[in-house]
A and B are shown apart, each in its own frame.
Chain A
């Protein structure tokens, strides 16, 4: 579609900005996540906020949304300072947010969803007709033609996204914040969303648009602000810059690779997929050799999680013309089978998928090897203790002891425990080097622990393991991978060899 870059009259007048953030600062321990950042957003303007993961943009957005307090600085709406102590404060001040995950309840219809929490009452009961009328009026005002009587569970993801935004703008906010609005949308749905956003903009709304997609930023936004290492390093009209320039600003430095050497064993293919499809992700060909660390680059939710989980035996719908994983000549039928074949998954979102809150470190470590650590149905305590001690020492897990509840550990140490579970299993299983599937293994892990996890991954590769790692942090893929497959538009498309790896290249490939 044609880019909508015509500045609205409101913007040309340049009165007080609808949203102004002044000298915002926020530190976590020793790191300054947001370092004296100024940001202004005018009526009828769409500002893109971009930055690599960890650049501080989500912290800044959290401050503007009232979710996290700033250490210092001030937020103004229409020139008046506001104090945001909660999301409700921000909402009341005229800051509306549409989060990446839609807040739409599938069992309610469109009208009920839009009016959720603001239902008109009559005699203490919800006035269904008035509710319907107000919702329709809102939809008409913003030119939305979705049937509001249909249950939202029947609508497409794109339609629910539009309803979610409609719900956010229902109270006439000064500013609308959109966090990765196209993350789960198809191309056609994204187009429809942008038409809708252009409409909102024309009506004088100020929009803060957070995205990883350079093409969206340059096609639809008026201005772009780039964050890096907590600072705003660029702020200007998109017309005055280019995607490559913005990416260069985002990345800044090149990542130094010290003593990196490939351990790939030629000819020893451990994972080989041909014409494979898992959920909505298609893979033409994917190969991982023994000793190789292969990356999967894609924006969050591009299907890499489902692919890795399917390779580890989870029942996601899949078909493959040909598949080989470790000793198996097909996709594993169950998690049991995969683990028995030496295919281990360290899942993303460890708290939800890899750890057992409420259990202690030792109990967590043993969960992957209950059969190996028991005899005639009884757990072998002495063996458990030895294993726990060994893994805690080997991975340098910082804990008060094996009996400490796992949720008391820091993110990095929790992640080490998630890894450690398979170390226990491998130790007991022996046999051929394993296939390791790692899904975003350094999410929420501090820098020191990250380095240790990278070293661990390289160690595994040197010992002959085949490693497939998905990450949204491209810097780390560049640091540890032999090759990186890039996911774009539901396809594992190109494979970038190590000597051609750069964040610029990966960001362009996954767009």
Chain B
């Protein structure tokens, strides 16, 4: 098992009610505190434009992290999400600019590519029995190689069709930013998948205890494969959204999303259902990262401070969960 899983305490002493509350909602509370903190520190933070800004900024991360959440829920890691996002982004740009294909193809084809890469990772994990940590680590450079082979390592600059920009800058009913709508739809679909569907239940069971899942008649390898495939799909969708936002197809654009999405998922594992990767938890994690980036920016903090803070937040969240025995690694 490579991904962190809920701890298996030998004892069953029940935590006191307030600690239980803290362990479930502590991360949400932290998010609220961060919000209040920035709101007090700078008046610009709570303005409608800025909040809309944050929502747009985090939407790509949310989509990528949703896919990763499913992988982690199934007990697997996906370290290729950054490279897959990059590849999907440049493919999408290239298909429109160089191949002159319609926008719908330029969106669906890269998504398919992401799904295929995820499926290959899944096959490596389930057929060749390579730990997902290693299989996806290897698939990353492979995706990057295809990326460079396609674009020669250069960005794809050119005007895209207007309909393509709609996924980044459009406003639904003239107000709601389209990328946020996409992110929310992805969250909703993921929520239903993990909480309401049979497949999702099987995936969560596989991640919680693979041996028990197998002995329950759950086809655990199928679950792991699908989870990794969906992770690839999520990464590809994020990459396409990113290209639309940047207005160019940049070969390295998706790279930072690996660490960000892992941080979001781990933060999420400390919320609501401690020790479990849930999409609602990941949402909280994504929002925390988005607020920190945005707030520090508004305060005029040097750019490197964002990275420091992000790292510290991840260490704090995970170590708290480990100390309280909620998450167990390996």
Contacts and interface: CB of A to CB of B under 8 A. Distances in A.
Interface in A391-445: 407-411, 414, 421
B174 interface: no
Contacts of A355: 209, 212
A68 interface: no
Contact of A335 (B5, B204, B215): B215
A357 B8 contact: yes
Contacts of A409: 12
Interface in A105-125: none
B201 A379 contact: yes
A353 B8 CA distance: 12
Contacts of A351: 8, 10
B211 interface: yes
A421 B217 CA distance: 12
A367 interface: yes
B103 interface: no
Contact of B201 (A345, A353, A367): A367
Interface stretch (B36-44, B133-141, B191-199): B191-199
Given A354-B212, A379-B201, A370 B218 contact: yes
Interface stretch (A196-204, A358-366, A459-467): A358-366
A382 to B, nearest CB: 12
Contacts of A28: none
Given A358-B6, A359-B205, A367 B218 contact: yes
A352 B8 CA distance: 9
Contacts of B219: 336
A contact patch SS: mixed
Contacts, number: 98
A301 interface: no
A421 to B, nearest CB: 7
Interface in B109-130: none
Contacts of A358: 5-7, 208, 273, 275-276
Interface in B168-215: 192, 196-199, 201-202, 204-205, 208-209, 211-215
B216 interface: yes
A328 to B, nearest CB: 15
Nearest to B14: A408
B9 interface: yes
A345 B211 CA distance: 13
Contacts of B214: 314, 335
A356 B12 contact: no
A130 interface: no
A256 interface: no
Interface in A339-353: 339-340, 345, 347, 351-353
A239 interface: no
B265 to A, nearest CB: 15
A374 interface: yes
A388 B83 CA distance: 44
B205 A353 contact: no
Nearest to A413: B12
B133 to A, nearest CB: 19
Assign chain B's interface to a size class: 20 to 34
A466 B205 CA distance: 28
A352 B213 CA distance: 10
A381 to B, nearest CB: 7
A260 interface: no
A240 interface: no
Contacts of B12: 407-411, 414
A410 B212 CA distance: 19
A410 B13 CA distance: 9
B215 A309 contact: yes
Contacts of A335: 214-217
Contact of A352 (B202, B209, B276): B209
A377 interface: yes
Contacts of A312: 215
A44 interface: no
Contacts of B10: 351
Nearest to B12: A408
Interface in A271-299: none
A395 B275 CA distance: 28
Nearest to A347: B215
A154 to B, nearest CB: 22
A362 to B, nearest CB: 11
A345 B14 contact: no
Q: Kindly name the residue among B9, B192, B212, B213 whose own CB sees the greatest number of chain A CB atoms within 10 A.
A: B212
B208 A378 contact: no
B212 to A, nearest CB: 5
A353 B211 contact: yes
Nearest to A381: B196
Given A357-B7, A407-B8, A345 B204 contact: no
A378 B218 CA distance: 16
Interface centre among A366, A378, A410, A414 (most CB of B within 10 A): A378
A407 B209 contact: no
A353 B204 contact: no
A404 B96 CA distance: 52
A356 B198 contact: no
Nearest to B202: A370
Nearest to B192: A378
Contacts of A407: 8-9, 12
B215 A377 contact: no
A94 interface: no
A371 interface: yes
A345 B215 contact: yes
B198 A378 contact: yes
A359 B274 CA distance: 10
B188 to A, nearest CB: 14
Contacts of A359: 6, 204-205, 208, 276
A368 interface: yes
Contact of A379 (B6, B9, B198): B198
Contacts of A356: 204-205, 208-209, 212-213
B205 A377 contact: no
A428 to B, nearest CB: 13
B218 to A, nearest CB: 7
Contact of B211 (A352, A367, A381, A411): A352
A37 B212 CA distance: 40
B321 to A, nearest CB: 12
Contact of B216 (A368, A410, A414): A368
A458 B15 CA distance: 36
Contacts of B216: 335, 339, 367-368, 421
Given A351-B8, A421-B216, A357 B198 contact: no
Given A340-B217, A379-B196, 8 more contacts: A356-B213, A358-B6, A377-B198, A378-B197, A379-B201, A407-B12, A409-B12, A410-B12
10 contacts: A352-B8, A356-B205, A357-B5, A359-B6, A370-B201, A377-B198, A379-B197, A379-B201, A408-B12, A411-B12
Interface of A: 309, 312, 314, 335-336, 338-340, 345, 347, 351-359, 363, 366-368, 370-371, 373-374, 377-379, 381, 407-411, 414, 421
- A-B CB proximity, top 6 nearest: A358-B6, A374-B198, A356-B208, A339-B217, A357-B8, A370-B198
